[in-house]
Amino acid sequence: MRTANEGKTKNNEPVLRTGELFPAEANPPSSLLTFNSSFFSPVSPNLSLWEVYHAMGFLRKAHPLALWADRVRAVQARVKALNLRGHIGRFIKMVGWPVTQKDVWTRDGLVMAFLSLEDETGLYETVIFPDVYDRYNKLLFDQQPLLVYGRVMIDEGAVSLEVSRIELLEGALAAS
C-alpha cells in the first residue's frame, strides 16, 4: 500500500519516502549490478586480520588495535578510555587509534591540535599544545597506534588528556 509521500512525480520520477536516501523504485544501470560477488562475500576465516586490513583499509569485525593486540597488552600501567574520568589530575599513559584531528592556531600564530583517539573501550579527547605539537606532529599523519602520555584534565565537565609526549606504539615497545 502506498502512502501519501510515495509514488511518482508529475515527471514520472520516483519520490523519496521520509528517511530514505534513494527512491524505492530507482533502478541503477545494469552495468552497476555486474560484479564479482565473491569479492563481497564474507571474509574467509583463513585471511589474517592484516590481510583484511591491507585489502580494505579497515577491519569489519575488530578494532584496529587488534592488529597490535600483543603490543597493546604489553603496555604496563596504561589507562583505558573507559576509566579516564577516574584519573583527573594525574599523569597517565594511554594507547590510542587516531580518529580525528583539528589543528588550530593560537593568538601567537603557533599550531596546536585537538586529537580524538579511541582504544578498545571508548573514545577520548586530547589537547596538544604548541610545544608538544612541534615535537610530535609528524606522528599524527598516519593511521597507526599511538602511546600518549599526559595529564587528565576536566573543563566544564569535559574530560580530556593534556598530552605531554607521543610515541608510536611499535617504537615505544621496541625501545623498552
Cβ atoms within 10 Å of 98's Cβ, excluding its own: 20
Spatial CB neighbours of 38, under 8 Å, sequence gap ≥ 6: none
What is the largest distance, in Å, between two alpha-carbon atoms of the chain?
71
Cβ atoms within 10 Å of 161's Cβ, excluding its own: 27
Q: What cell was used for 127?
A: 589537547
Query: Residue 30: enclosing H or E segment and its boundaries?
Result: helix 30-33
Could you state, in order of their start, the residue ranges of all structural domains in the chain? 76-175
CA 53 → CA 15, 103, 109, 170, distances in Å?
Answer: 38, 27, 38, 17
The phi and psi torsions of 115 (rounded to 5 degrees) equal -120, 125
The C-alpha atoms of residue 162 and residue 97 are separated, in whole angstroms, by 16
Beta strand spans in 57-110 (E): 91-105
Q: What is the pTM of this model?
A: 0.68
Query: Residue 157: enclosing H or E segment and its boundaries?
Result: none
Q: What cell was used for 30?
A: 545494469
- 18-41 pLDDT, tens digit per residue, is 655 555 555 555 544 444 444 444
Query: Residue 68: enclosing H or E segment and its boundaries?
Result: none
- 60-110 pLDDT, tens digit per residue, is 778 888 888 899 999 999 999 999 999 999 999 999 999 999 999 999 999
Cβ atoms of 148 and 96 within 8 Å: the answer is yes
Q: What cell was used for 162?
A: 593534556
Query: Which range in 34-48, 54-68, 138-152 is most confidently predicted, on average pLDDT?
Result: 138-152
Tell me, which fold does domain 76-175 have in CATH? OB fold (Dihydrolipoamide Acetyltransferase, E2P) (2.40.50)
Q: Report which of 113, 119, 87, 86 is spatially closest to residue 100, judged by C-alpha positions.
A: 113
